[in-house]
Structure 1
Amino acid sequence: MNKLYIGNLGENVSPLDLESLFKDSKIPFSGQFLVKTGYAFVDCPDESWAMKAIEALSGKVELHGKLIEVEHSVPKRQRECQRNAALLHSDPLVWKKAIAIFKGLGHFVQKLEEAL
């Protein structure tokens, strides 16, 4: 995954600020920075450059007085699935209720019980 999320940005951060930061850090990027209020996205040429950007910049570099966060961009739908999965795994009672609700589905419930 080569798309990066850059977070904890000040309101006045511009694409030029981010371009300068990446160029000064000698980290190549593809295309333009998509800047929103408080965060931005950018593509790196490949996975190794994306990892280097994360390692070099995340939590280590200030931009307009704020320490930036850099991580792999995760699509919204995937973030929601991960959050829901984390909720299910964190509460055994939720699992028991889910099993009770889906008892009629046989094979599915058997696999679910085995996963517990």
Structure 2
Amino acid sequence: MEEGYAVLLVEGEWQSLEDHRGKIAYKKYGSGAFEIEELGELPSDVSLTPPCTPEPTFEERFASTIAQREAAYKTESDPLYMEWQYDGTAEAEQKWRDKVAEIKERYPLPTE
């Protein structure tokens, strides 16, 4: 038997049918993925190749980076800022400034 095929008795006759069972198929038009459960050819509107996802635009990358920075500021640098405001010491200010610089280095803004 040829690989990728299965033999099935259909109306008293043995037929060799394509076997894609267990594979993930993707709709060519629209969206959606599903697991193939039956023997036979793939429908014309289905592919085994996942759809291409377009590269994010500059604006999308910029917005994503800003969101990542904001989340890091909220959890990492804002508490240090509040500590500096309470303490008023140069050491506390430096800890806060160092954390802000670390976050900016971790999430650099896209340039193009």
TM-score range, shorter chain: under 0.3
TM-score, normalised relative to structure 1: 0.27
When Rg is computed on C-alpha atoms for both structures, the one with the higher figure is 2
Which has more helix, going by share of residues? 1
